[in-house]
Structure 1
Amino acid sequence: MAEVRAARPRLVATDLDGTLVRSDGSVSAYTAEVLAQIEARGVPVVFVTGRPLRWTEEVFEHVGEHGLAVVSNGALVWDVARHRSHLERPIEPALGLEACRLLRAALPDAAFAVETLAGFGLEDHFVELAPVPADARRGPVEELLDRPALKLLARHERLGPQEFWELAEQAVGGRLVITWSSTSSLLEISAPGVTKASTLELLCTDLGVDAADVVAFGDMPNDLPMLAWAGSSYAMAGAHPTVLETALHRAGSNDDDGVARVLAGLFDL
């Protein structure tokens, strides 16, 4: 596939975990400096992540004065500077509950959790690998999905990620968008049509930036729509095989400042 873009990108879109953020959860001083220099040239750096808002806030200091982040795989655009929602694309409760019923009928051992702007909720048998917030709600998903959800999570303790995703896709039948970005069997479910790419496209339209002028970076299946949409795309070293097949270019690993080194070359820093 031929690459079509301007000599230099007008917007940088980057995933976080496995892409920009190091394995220890940090953003290196070198990467932070490169992002700051790009922002100083008037080029927005947009974090496009599957992380919920509560985890994305940890790295907001690096988004620059443009201050916009695409969170929860496209369900939320957060205005960092004003600390408020810019755009929400949630799952309506009735549709989310229908998907849960279908998944549970096909995969009885599935457990669910819910991310909303109000916080996190999880079923008692949902195994959360990260620390659970002290104010997290607990109960059956029928109680947790009492309001629009930014993301519905499904976990299975016996199936591998790819097998779980394939079976879930069959069960839900396209009613919602199902993807994954974890090495564990955790599915991330979004409202119809909501992906990193579709929300990034809406944001770029607001900013007057064409897809051809966007450079994107990612490493996991939830990045695939964004990498296919952007005019220039980079798969990180060690990325999922489907990402390596989709992206136009390769970058070094997240632990070697792969994103920053590519950007330093693109912008002659």
Structure 2
Amino acid sequence: MAAPTAYAARIPAYSLIATDLDGTLLRGDDTVSGRSRAALARVAAAGARHLVVTGRPAPRVRALLADLGGTGLAVCGQGAQLYDVGADRLLWSVTLDRELAEIALGKIEAEVGQVYAAVDQDGTDGLTLTEPGYRMPHPTLPAVRVGRRRDLWGEPISKVLLRHPGLGDDELAGVARAVVGSLATVTMSGPGTVELQPCGVTKATGLALAAEHLGLGPEDTLAFGDMPNDIPMFDWAARGVAMADAHPALKAVADEVTLSNEDDGVAVVLERLYGEAECVAQYAPKTLSMEP
């Protein structure tokens, strides 16, 4: 166990652990492994905070956070919502102007042809609405099908989700960024998930607000993620750790690359930084790749 001890001596423990969910803390079946739960318990025992920072809106994480025993804060909706888990209320939220969202969609479709859209409504009971042709990238997440696109705009929304029948995510996101301009922030949060969110809103803005509530700052923060929407969070935090199968754009800015979500990559790092010898010894350590 000499190597993990030596590494921990070079890199300090952090007071705030910010983790993405899909592709990062969650396994492919939307569960958190026992090993990851134990590692997060070690973090709490050391006096540090765990903060979920996710693209999912608050209603889509309520049950998961309750299962994890969370009672504090969570950053949801790509940074558009700061959610008080214990009180089940939004401390802060920002919505995407629906007229601007329609204009942005029109500009994108003028370049690439028809896209299929969905929206996440604002609020702790907001629904995910999908227009005909849109297929949810996470089939376990509930959604309500509407008859026409204009039915998406009936209530305030936090973001728009886009899919194209032929273009890949990187190409669609690139076109959207080129034509949308200041109408919205364009991000990519997972396979089949290109999103429009309020201009200037990112995971970093939400994380910064949550950290301020906790009396902490970027120098206190260790962040984990797997997709380009995590890049602003990595830029803000003192250290960013990408998963083994993360998008190349995130790996390019990461300080470290750990194992995949299926191999408990988050837990591996947390055990090294916070785990006692018996905790680490319970699992055979695996080799990590390090960015220079």
Fold in common (TM above 0.5): yes
Secondary structure of 2:194's aligned partner: strand
**Counterparts of 2:147 and 2:166, CA distance in 1:** 22
**TM-superposed deviation, 1:85:** 1.1
2:76 counterpart (61, 71, 78)? 71
2:183 match: secondary structure: coil
Aligned ranges for residues 109-124 of structure 1 at < 5 Å? 109-116=114-121, 117=123, 118-124=126-132
Q: Secondary structure at the match of 1:147?
A: coil
Q: What CA distance in whole angstroms lies between the structure 2 residues aligned with 1:98 and 1:115?
A: 18
- Contact in 2 for aligned 1:46/1:68 (Cα 8 Å): yes
- Percent identity between matched residues is 37
Deviation of 1:242 after TM superposition, in Å, equals 0.9
What is the CA-CA distance between 1:181 and the residue it aligns to?
Answer: 2.1
Match of 1:159 in 2: 167
How far the C-alpha of 1:7 sits from its partner, in A, is 2.5
TM superposition score normalised by structure 2: 0.84
Change (3 A) 1:253 1:128: closer
Match of 1:98 among 99, 103, 108: 103
Deviation at 1:64, TM superposition (A): 4.7
Change in Cα spacing, 1:138 to 1:65, as seen in structure 2 (3 Å) is closer
Q: Pick from 235, 241, 245: which aligns with 2:248?
A: 241
| Structure 1 residue matching 2:120: 3-state secondary structure | strand
Equivalent position of 2:200 in the other structure: 193
Other structure's SS at 1:180 match: strand
**Which 4+ runs in 1 deviate beyond 4 A?**
62-66
Name which of 147, 163, 170 aligns with 1:139: 147
Query: 1:179–1:187: 8 Å Cα contact kept in structure 2?
Result: yes
**DSSP-derived class of the 1:181 partner:** strand
User: Does the Cα contact within 8 Å between 2:116 and 2:163 map onto a contact in 1?
Assistant: yes
Question: Cα distance, 1:219 vs. partner?
Answer: 0.8
Residue 284 of structure 2 corresponds to none
C-alpha displacement of 1:36: 2.1
Unaligned 5+ segments in structure 2 are 1-9, 277-292
**Runs of 5+ consecutive residues of structure 1 not aligned to the other structure:** none
Q: Deviations over 1:32-71 (max 9, x none)?
A: 1221232233321011111233432242036555521111
Task: Tell me the equivalent position of 1:261.
Answer: 268
Residue 108 (structure 1) shift: 2.5
Instruction: Give the distance between the partners of 1:131 and 1:268, measured in 2 at CA.
Output: 33
Aligned to 1:207: 214
What RMSD over aligned residues (CA atoms) do the two structures have, in Å? 2.0
Tell me the number of residue pairs that the alignment of Structure 1 and Structure 2 aligns.
Answer: 263
Q: Which deviates the most, 203-212 or 89-98?
A: 89-98
Q: 1:231 aligns with which of 230, 238, 243?
A: 238
Tell me which amino acid in the other structure corresponds to 1:230: A
Bigger drift between 259-268 and 139-148 goes to 139-148
Aligned residue runs from structure 1 range 17-56, under 5 A = 17-56=22-61
Residue type of the alignment partner of 2:181:
G
Which stretch of structure 1 is more off in the superposition, 120-129 or 239-248?
Answer: 120-129
Question: Do 2:117 and 2:160's aligned partners in 1 also have CA atoms closer than 8 Å?
Answer: yes
Give the match for residue 88 of structure 2: 83
Asked whether 1:183 is paired with 2:173, we answer no
Deviations 1:202-248 (A, max 9, x none): 11112111101100001111111101110011011121111111011
Say whether 1:173 aligns with 2:181: yes
Amino acid at match of 1:175: L
Partner amino acid for 2:227?
M
Letter matched to residue 150 of structure 1: S
Query: Matched residue of 2:161: which SS?
Result: strand
Calculate the TM-score normalised by the size of structure 1: 0.90
Whole-Å separation in 2 of the counterparts to 1:14 and 1:119: 24
| Higher Rg | 2
